[in-house]
Amino acid sequence: MSNTPDRVDFDEYADRYEDLLQDQLSFFSKDRGYFSDHKASLAARQFDKPPNRILDFGCGIGLSLPYLAKYFPNAELFATDISEKSLQHVAKTHQAVTVLQNGEVDGHCFDLIFAAGVFHHIPPAQRREACARLSACLSPGGRVCVFEHNPYNPVTRRMVSTCPFDEDAVLLKRRELANLLADTRGLTVERREYCLFFPEPLKGLQPIERFLGWLPLGGQYYVVARK
Ligand SMILES: C[S@@+](CC[C@H](N)C(=O)[O-])C[C@H]1O[C@@H](n2cnc3c(N)ncnc32)[C@H](O)[C@@H]1O
């Protein structure tokens, strides 16, 4: 018998993804967008010269897209996912975004690939290939910015264990993700930091977060690698 959990089919969750996520996050924030906004702002901090072409890889129903548009107002936005139903939702709700089916991504060139909460859904044996694919789609000097759940944070672990669409989740430690990206041909890891320390009621403390990137207590972490 295999120990690998069956893969979650996000087509089944596309219609209620937002409600399920809001249930999960309601303890921390009334505004589900608070964390998506923060992640997009962290991605924006990685660039002196703003990227022109951005791919939201594993975009789901597109909850990060309004914030990528907010922090990168002049960029051309693209979105892809393996869930066709999620992509149909994105095509309807974000008409300024170019939707790429999973097979259409290769051959494109992006200055930023943003991936939030995707890698823990990719089976471990397929993660190297996924990194190689992302690297191949980056322009020279382009960056991939990957956000993941922090397995050291007990609240994060509890949320994952009770979330229906996380049934296939295999969480990765920050070191594992950084090593995966560092071992990918063409990529150099520039940053690896814990983040999402402060829920919305404590957002006044957010400026402190930039000094806490080393502390494995954030709800998530992110790793940035440059081509
Ligand atoms: C937890 S959702 C996150 C959605 C979105 N990034 C967000 O933050 O709201 C994970 C998404 O990753 C997608 N996914 C999983 N494996 C993928 C792969 N190999 N390529 C592209 N998308 C993938 C799933 O279909 C799902 O929509």
Instruction: Give the pTM.
Output: 0.94
Residue 57 maps to a domain: yes
Residue 38 lies in a domain: yes
- Give the integer Cα–Cα distance in Å for 93 and 150: 30
Pocket perturbation via mutation, ligand 1, pick of 121, 129, 171, 222 by most ligand atoms within 8 A of CB: 121
Residue 5 is assigned to a structural domain of this protein: no
**Ligand 1 atom closest to the CA of 10, numbered from 1:** 25
Q: Give the chain's mean pLDDT.
A: 93
Q: Which residue has the tokens 């990529």?
A: 187
Number of helical H runs and strand E runs in the chain: 7, 7
Is pLDDT of 1 > 50?
Answer: no
Ligand 1 atom at minimum distance from 86 CA: 27
The whole-angstrom separation of Cα 29 and Cα 199 is 6
Beta bridge partners of 143: 112, 226
- Give me the domain span that covers residue 110: 10-226
Cβ(82) to ligand 1 under 6 A? yes
Q: How many domains does the chain have?
A: 1
Q: Is 4 contained in some domain? A: no
**What per-residue confidence (pLDDT) applies to 14?**
84
100: closest CA among 140, 142, 53? 53
Report the C-alpha gap between 90 and 190 in whole angstroms. 31
Q: What is the largest CA-CA distance in the chain?
A: 50
CATH number at residue 75: 3.40.50.150
10 close to ligand 1 (CB < 6 Angstrom): yes
In a domain, 3, yes or no: no
Asked if the structure places residue 2 within a domain, the reply is no
Q: Which of 118, 160, 163 to mutate to test the pocket of ligand 1 (most atoms within 8 A of CB)?
A: 118
Distance CA 79, CA 94 (A): 10
Q: Is the CB of 122 under 6 A from ligand 1?
A: yes
36-84 residue pLDDT tens: 999 999 999 999 999 999 999 999 999 999 999 999 999 999 999 999 9
The whole-angstrom separation of Cα 225 and Cα 227 is 7
